[in-house]
A and B are shown apart, each in its own frame.
Chain A
C-alpha cells in the first residue's frame, strides 16, 4: 500500500483512473444492453435493428433510405413480412440486373437475415405477415376443390399443371414445381410483381390450403406413361411427334431402302 499511497499524486494516476472508469462503464453497458433485448419479446428489437442494417446496405439504394420508394424501386411500406420473405428467400431480391421481371436465383441472405429484414419492414408499416405453420397445413385440405380454385384463379397464367407461362413484354408467370407451401401462400397474399393479390378475404385460408394441396399433388404426381414433355399439353406433344417420331420414321424408311453392302 505504501507503493500506491506514495504515488497517488502522480499525474498518470488520473489518466489511469479515467481509463479504468470508462472501461467499467463500457463493460457494464455492453452486459446490460445484451440482456435488455433478450427480455424484449422474441428478440424482435435486435431483429429490427439487424434488419435495418441489412436493409440500408442491400436494399436502400433502390427502395429509398426509409423504404419510401424511389425511381428504381417501389415503396416497401405496407408490403408486409410475407412479401420480404418471398422476394428475398427465393433470391428474386436483391435484383441481379434490371429487366422485365426479377428472376428466382440462389438466395443471398440466410433465413436469419431474411427474418431480420422482414421484421424491419413490417415494423415500418403493417402488412401481410409470414404464415404460421397452422395456416400452411394443407394435409386435410380438399385437393379436388383446390384444383377447381386453381383453374379459376391461377391456371390462366401458371398453366393448368402449374408449369408457368408467358405474359406481356418478356414478363412471365413462373413454374410452380419447386415452390414451397410458404412461398405459395406468401405470393398469394402479397402479389409479387405482375401477380394480383389474392387476399384472405377473397380467397380464405381454407381455400389457400386447398390450392396448396393441389399444387403439391401436381409436384408429387408421377408421369404414368413416361415422357411428360413438360406437361404443357398437345403443342409439345405434337412438336415431339413431328420432329422426333417422324424423323425416326424417315430414318427407318431410309434404312429399309438402302441397299445392303
Chain B
C-alpha cells in the first residue's frame, strides 16, 4: 500500500561515492505545506564524506571495545576490587566487562542510526490507509451468518437446552472459590478459625530468645531492653510441621520498662516487674515488627507506619492498624526463667472474617 513520494529513488545526481549531491525533486512535501529541508550531507559532499567516516569510526571503535572486553576477561582476576569515584569500591572484572561490551553494542547502534540519519535517502513517504468503516456488503454478510447460525443451532428454539446451558455455565466457577478455603491447609477435624486463634503459648512454656534459643531470666533484661523471643520447643514443632506457621503466630517481643511508666495493660498483672511480652505480628496485615523506641515505648511497623504504645496496652496511636497489639501474660517458673501463663487472650495478627471483635 505504500507509495513513494515523487523524488524518492530518483536521485540521478550522484557524486563519485554514489551519494546524492543535489537531488532534483527533493524539497517537495506531499503531506503539508512544510518545505523539505535539505541536510548538510545532501548539499555538501565534504560533509557527506565526514559523516561516512564518523559511522565507520563508530563501527571500528566498537570492534576495539570488543577486543578490550576480551582482554579484560583474560587479564582481570574476578575477585579484584577497585575504587572508582561515584561507583565506590566495585568488582573490577564486572565493571570492565560491562563497560566495554555495553559501549561496543551502543556504538553499533549509534553508528547505524547516524548512517540512516545522515546518509540514507531523506524523503517524506505517504502510506495510504483504507477507511476504518467496513463495507455495507461485509456488514450484511456477517449479519446473515449470525442469523443462519442461530437458526441451525436452534438456540432460540430449544428453550430447555438454552436454560440448562446457562445454569451449567453459572455453576462451574463455584469450586474455584470453594477451594480457596484450602489455602490454609486444615488438618482433618480441626477448625481453621481455631487454628488462627491459638498459638503455641500455654501455661508454663518458657520464653527463649530468637537466634540463640536460650531461655531468658528477668534479670537478663535491663530497663530499656528488647528481646525478640519465641516459645521453647518451637524448632521441633517447625521441623514436624514443615512450615513456619507456628513461628508466624507465636513470635513475641519482650521489653522492659520502669513499672511506674506502664499506664495500662490488657490484663491485671500480665507483666513481670516491668517486663512486658507483646506479639511481634502487626494487627494490620501481619508484618513482623520490632522497631521499638525505648524512650517513648512506641512500636512502629515499617510496612504501613502503624504505631503501638506498649506502655498503654499496646494501643494503636497512629496508622491503619485497627486493633491493639495482643499482649502475652508472663511470669517466672521455679527455676527463675520467664514463662507464659496462658495463650494470647485474642487472636494475633491481621483480622479475619470469623474473628470476634476485641
Contact assessment for B302 and A260 in the assembled complex, using a CB-CB cutoff below 8 Å: no
Contact assessment for A194 and B220 in the assembled complex, using a CB-CB cutoff below 8 Å: no
In the bound complex, how far is the Cα of B226 from the Cα of A228, in angstroms? 32
Query: Interface 1/0s, chain B 304-324, versus A by CB < 8 A?
Result: 010100000000001000000
Count residues on chain A whose CB falls below 8 Å from chain B CBs.
35
In the bound complex, how far is the Cα of B94 from the Cα of A169, in angstroms? 41
Shortest Cβ gap from A154 to chain B (Å): 9
Contact assessment for A168 and B94 in the assembled complex, using a CB-CB cutoff below 8 Å: no
Measured between beta carbons, the chain B residues less than 8 angstroms from A167 are: 291, 293, 300
Contact assessment for B90 and A225 in the assembled complex, using a CB-CB cutoff below 8 Å: yes
Contact assessment for A222 and B90 in the assembled complex, using a CB-CB cutoff below 8 Å: yes
Count residues on chain B whose CB falls below 8 Å from chain A CBs.
49
Contact assessment for B291 and A156 in the assembled complex, using a CB-CB cutoff below 8 Å: yes
In the bound complex, how far is the Cα of B227 from the Cα of A156, in angstroms? 13
Shortest Cβ gap from B308 to chain A (Å): 11
In the bound complex, how far is the Cα of B294 from the Cα of A167, in angstroms? 12
Shortest Cβ gap from B123 to chain A (Å): 12
Query: Interface 1/0s, chain B 289-304, versus A by CB < 8 A?
Result: 1111111101010100
- Given A167-B300, A223-B89: A260 and B98 interface contact (C-beta under 8 Å): no
Measured between beta carbons, the chain A residues less than 8 angstroms from B255 are: 196
- Given A157-B291, A227-B87: A260 and B39 interface contact (C-beta under 8 Å): yes
Contact assessment for B296 and A168 in the assembled complex, using a CB-CB cutoff below 8 Å: yes
Which segment, of A34-42, A47-55, A145-153, A178-186, faces chain B?
A145-153
Contact assessment for B293 and A226 in the assembled complex, using a CB-CB cutoff below 8 Å: no
Is A202 positioned at the interface, with any CB of B under 8 Å from its CB?
Answer: yes
Contact assessment for A228 and B222 in the assembled complex, using a CB-CB cutoff below 8 Å: no
For A194, A197, A260, which residue has the most chain B Cβ atoms within 10 angstroms?
A: A260
Q: Select A156's contact among B118, B211, B224, B302, beta carbons within 8 Å.
A: B302
Is B144 positioned at the interface, with any CB of A under 8 Å from its CB?
Answer: no
Given A149-B211, A223-B89, 18 new contacts (CB under 8 A): A153-B228, A165-B302, A167-B291, A167-B293, A168-B318, A191-B294, A196-B225, A197-B225, A197-B294, A198-B225, A198-B226, A199-B220, A201-B221, A202-B221, A223-B88, A224-B90, A228-B88, A259-B117
Q: List 6 A-B contacts (CB under 8 A).
A: A149-B211, A191-B224, A194-B294, A202-B220, A202-B227, A222-B88
